[in-house]
Amino acid sequence: MIAVLAAAGLAAAACAAEQSGGTASGAASGVTGTSIKIGGVLTKTSASGYSTKDAEIGAKARFERANAAGGVHGRKIEFVGAEDDTQDAAKGDAAAKKLVQKDGVFALVPVHAPNFGGAAFLEQQGVPWFGWATGPQWCGTTTGFGYNGCLAPKAGAGSQTWWGRQMADLLGGAQGKKVWVQTSDSSGSKYGGKTISQSFEAAGFTLVGVDSSLPAAAPPPDWLPHVNKIMATKPDVVVSVIAGTKFNAGLYAGLKKAGYQGVLTDATSYDANILKDPAQAQAFEGVIAAPMFEPFESTAPEIEQLRKDVEAVAPGTQLTQHLAIGYWAADIFLKVADQAGKDLTREKFLSVANGTFSYENAGFGRIAYPKDHDEPNGCGALVKISGGAFQVAKNMKCFDNVPLKP
């Protein structure tokens, strides 16, 4: 009986193998005379509700435009869509293996999953992967390409200053202005607090506190002690380095309840969903969000193009941060593939990308590999939430990085 059970399971797996066996062996590296096979890994669903699924539409929109224009050196992009890692490192690893070994893709675009677990496998197999390099698993690799560089540089490598400098420009100078950086109690968030504190200090702000007392797993049921600590230092700017709208909504509501009058800024609130609910839009009123791409409200022609591309594949789609990340990751991949020339192999692709690749675009600033395998590209914009709508406060601009203190 047990044997039957085991056999049934294995037979089912074997069946699946036969179905896809043809494609896997026929195009081992994902490139044929007429096509390049691409797939992605996203956190489409997760226990916390965090989802980057829009990146799939973004990448698809960009690939469709390339295909409409005749493809890359005559090869159409065959985009098989994105796997869901459910924010589970093991699932991300399994998804990467499935795409490479079973589906036989050439590269992984977009990879946009905060807890992505397939990095070691992809690096070992020499498979390029493009996306948002928020975690250290991206950095220092030869195959992981963050669309705006590596956002988790090691000590000594370059760390961004754009957020502080853009903010200083917006507020008319940083002299004498006090900044409080709020993180949650996890290594990742504490690390973010360090780089962002440095960014504001580099811009001339006075750092009055970096606090990591917020629980990481779920928002604190009571914000009072956290808010009191912030209010005691009378900051002019509060930077929130905590992931998730729920956390930020709680923090901002608490601060406003306590009478805070200064500036609130974070990296995640450039999200149309926040404005859907009037009560919530009110809680975020005045918040300055810091996206790492040119805002959709911009008049830049690249953004106009992005709108058109998205409209062509999915009419009526709400433009979101994740969509933009998928779009720009695909854009950079296409640029490298184009430069790699007619005889496309992974080796060729990687040697071009890691040679002296450099690319500027108003959409995301600039990118240069291999330098940006180790540090961020140093570009960002500011968007203000005002009257229930987003307004561009500062357009995309790039600044020099400074070495990250240990």
Partner 1 sequence: MIGYILSGLVTGAIFAVLGSGLTLSYAATGVFNFAHGAIGFLTALVYYELYAGLGLPRWIAALVAAGLFAPLVGLALHRAMFRGLAGAGETAQIVGTIGLTIALPALGLFLVELALPLGLAPIDVSVQPRGVGPAPPALFDLGIVTLDSDQLITFGFAVLAAAGLWAFMRHTPYGLRMRACVDRRGLAGLRGIDPDSTSALAWMLSCLLAGLAGVLALPIVGLDAHAYTVLLFASATAAVFGRLRSIPWTFAAGLGLGVVTNLVAGYGSFLQEITGLRSAVPVILLFLGLLLLNRSRERVAGSSAEDTPPPDYRADLPPWRRRLPWLAGLALLLGFTFTQSDYYVGIVAQGLVLALIFCSFVVVTGIGGMVNLAQASFAAMAALTCGWAFSAGLPFIVAIVLGVLAATAVGMLVALPALRLGGRILTLATLALALLADQVLFQIDAFSNGTIGWTLPAINLGLGTTTSPQVRVVLLLVLIGLVGLLVRNLERSASGRAILAVRSAPAAATTSGLSAARTKFLLFALASAIAGLGGVLYAISKGATTATDLPAFAGFVWLAVVVLQGVRRIGGAVVGGLIAAVFPELLSAWGVSAHVGLILFGAGGMILAKHPDGVLAQLAEQRYRRRTKATAGSTTADTTAGATVDPLSAAPGVPLRRVGETVYGGARREASGDQPSPLFELQGVVAARAEATVLRGVDLEVHAGEVVALLGANGAGKSTTCAVAAGDVLLTEGRVLLDGTDVTTWQPHRRARAGILLAPEGRGVFPALTVEENLRTWLPDPAPVFDRLPLLATRRAVPAGALSGGEQQLLTLAPALVRPPKVLIADEPSLGLAPRVVEQVFQLFTELRDKGVALLLVEEKATEALAIADRVAFMRLGRITWTGSRSEVDGERLAAAYLGVS
Region 153-182 residues binding partner 1, contact defined as CB under 8 A: none
Distance CA 184, CA 232 (A): 19
Exposed/middle/buried for residue 70 (C-beta within 10 Å: 0-12, 13-18, 19+)? exposed
* Cβ–Cβ under 8 Å, residues 51 and 43: yes
Considering the rule CB under 8 A, would residue 28 count as an interface residue with partner 1?
A: no
Which is nearer to partner 1, 277 or 338 (by Cβ)?
277
Residues 386-405 that bind partner 1 (CB under 8 A): none
Per-residue buried b or exposed e for 98-122, using 16+ beta carbons within 10 Å of the residue's own CB: bbbeebbbbbbbbbbbbbbbbbebb
Span interacting with partner 1, options 271-279, 302-310, 344-352, 375-383, rule CB under 8 A: 271-279
> For partner 1, which residue of 142, 170, 171, 191 counts as binding (CB under 8 A)?
191
Residue 299 has which token pair? 């008049």
Considering the rule CB under 8 A, would residue 224 count as an interface residue with partner 1?
A: yes
Considering the rule CB under 8 A, would residue 218 count as an interface residue with partner 1?
A: yes
Strands (E), 215-262: 237-240
Distance CA 353, CA 371 (A): 11
> For partner 1, which residue of 23, 34, 228, 358 counts as binding (CB under 8 A)?
228
Chain-centroid distance of CA 237 in Å reads 24
Distance CA 145, CA 132 (A): 8
Considering the rule CB under 8 A, would residue 280 count as an interface residue with partner 1?
A: yes
* Cβ–Cβ under 8 Å, residues 334 and 72: yes
* Cβ–Cβ under 8 Å, residues 251 and 240: yes
> For partner 1, which residue of 217, 261, 315, 342 counts as binding (CB under 8 A)?
217
- Per-residue x/- track, 336-375, partner 1 (CB under 8 A): ----------------------------------------
> For partner 1, which residue of 23, 34, 282, 391 counts as binding (CB under 8 A)?
282
Residue 331 has which token pair? 């854009």
Give the shortest CB-314-to-partner 1 separation in angstroms.
16
> For partner 1, which residue of 3, 315, 342, 343 counts as binding (CB under 8 A)?
3
Give the shortest CB-257-to-partner 1 separation in angstroms.
6
Span interacting with partner 1, options 135-143, 169-177, 198-206, 293-301, rule CB under 8 A: 135-143
Considering the rule CB under 8 A, would residue 23 count as an interface residue with partner 1?
A: no
Considering the rule CB under 8 A, would residue 136 count as an interface residue with partner 1?
A: yes
Residue 249 has which token pair? 């909504």
Task: Collapse the DSSP code of 163 into the 3-class scheme (helix H, G, I; strand E, B; otherwise coil) and give the result.
Answer: helix
> For partner 1, which residue of 277, 304, 338, 347 counts as binding (CB under 8 A)?
277
Distance CA 266, CA 105 (A): 36
Give the shortest CB-397-to-partner 1 separation in angstroms.
28
Helix and strand totals (H; E) in the chain: 13, 16
Distance CA 340, CA 158 (A): 28
- Per-residue x/- track, 78-117, partner 1 (CB under 8 A): ------x-x--xxx-xx--xx--xx------------x-x
Exposed/middle/buried for residue 17 (C-beta within 10 Å: 0-12, 13-18, 19+)? exposed
Residues 39-58 that bind partner 1 (CB under 8 A): 45, 47-51
> For partner 1, which residue of 172, 176, 221, 387 counts as binding (CB under 8 A)?
221
